Amino acid sequence: MSYTARIQYIIKALIKKDGITLKQIADEFEISTRQASRDIEQLRYQMGAPIEYDKSDKVYRLTQDWSSYTNLDDNMVILAAYFRSLIEQLPLKKSIKSEIEETFLSSVSKSAAALTDKVIYKAPQISFPNYDVFSTVTEALTVNHCIEIKYTNFKKEITNRIVEPLRLINYSSSWYLVAFDHKREKVINLHLSRVISASILDTPITFKDTKLIVDTSFGIFTTGRMEDYVIKFSSKLTDDVRHIIWHQKQRIEDLEDGAFLLHIPASNSQELITLVLRYAPYACPISPESFVNEYKNRVKEINKTI
């Protein structure tokens, strides 16, 4: 078992048991007591664990609550389930998948690893990119050079663009290229599946303002002016959706009738409309007005097709 697995074991023992000895750690992982002592010191000085040695009982104990790590093992079980689900979808040979999975599981505790067949995460279907385009973009990101791309927009119009690749993001099972468009002089989000071809140029990347990329807006739409989008959920959905986290900076406002308002900062209503439609008729947009109008227009379009 790896260092990570040992640390998890020690933390769990410290929190859930009445102390732990160096011999217990050494026997569990077949290491020396000196190595076990180094692990304890690592927890003390690198992770801030309030650990003291009790000379009378000859054990290490926590001197105060260290609850931030109470659910470490549970979180590793969740992570292992998520990781396995993703690995299963990769277009790799079974032997390679097994090797990758084995390497990952070696970093989790025995108790967490033992649950990987019983705790299952069903990840959304992954969309795989055009690997020629993907490889070109990742190489450009590595050497920090611009690329020239041939791109098809939603109107099926093909354009040639010179962009500075900044990030590749997989969101809602789709790949996006976040780039600085030289002609438009702004950061844009390009659906990678619409990039027909890409080639690396000699021009180095000069864009530096990464705050425009790693923003707090909803989903992939990470540029533009932020607004407070508000969605009202009926009391019938409170138990089902109130606990869901759609955005790190979302805010819940409870109403007297058991309903609640969900506030989400965003620069684009496109995904939020899909969210409201998903829970209709027990969810509806409240503000801004443009959000409400766009939602009404979408509903009208849907009704025309029925």
Would the pLDDT of 215 be above 60? Answer: no
Order of strands, edge to edge, in the sheet holding 158-171? 186-191, 174-181, 158-171, 145-152, 195-204
- Fold (CATH) for 227-305: Alpha-Beta Plaits (3.30.70)
pTM here? 0.64
Give the angle subtended at the CA of 167 by the CAs of 96 and 178, to the nearest 5°: 130
pLDDT at 209: 63
pLDDT at 137: 96
Residue predicted with more confidence, 221 or 117: 117
Q: What is the mean pLDDT of residues 48-69?
A: 83
Residue 68 burial (C-beta neighbours within 10 Å; 0-12, 13-18, 19+): exposed
Residue predicted with more confidence, 213 or 63: 63
Q: What is the mean pLDDT of residues 84-104?
A: 86
H/E element, 76: helix 72-89
Calpha distance 297→157 (Å, rounded): 25
CATH class (in words) of the domain with range 131-208: mainly beta
DSSP class of residue 223 equals: S
> What CA–CA distances, in Å, run from 301 to 163, 231, 276, 284?
35, 21, 15, 17
> What CA–CA distances, in Å, run from 112 to 14, 25, 39, 293?
17, 17, 20, 49
Would the pLDDT of 10 be above 80? Answer: yes
pLDDT bin (cut points 50, 70, 90) of residue 249 is: confident
The dotted CATH code for 3-69 is 1.10.10.10
pLDDT at 216: 44
Residue predicted with more confidence, 222 or 83: 83
Q: What is the mean pLDDT of residues 184-196?
A: 89
Give the residue extent of every domain in the chain: 3-69, 76-113, 131-208, 227-305
- Mean pLDDT for the chain? 85
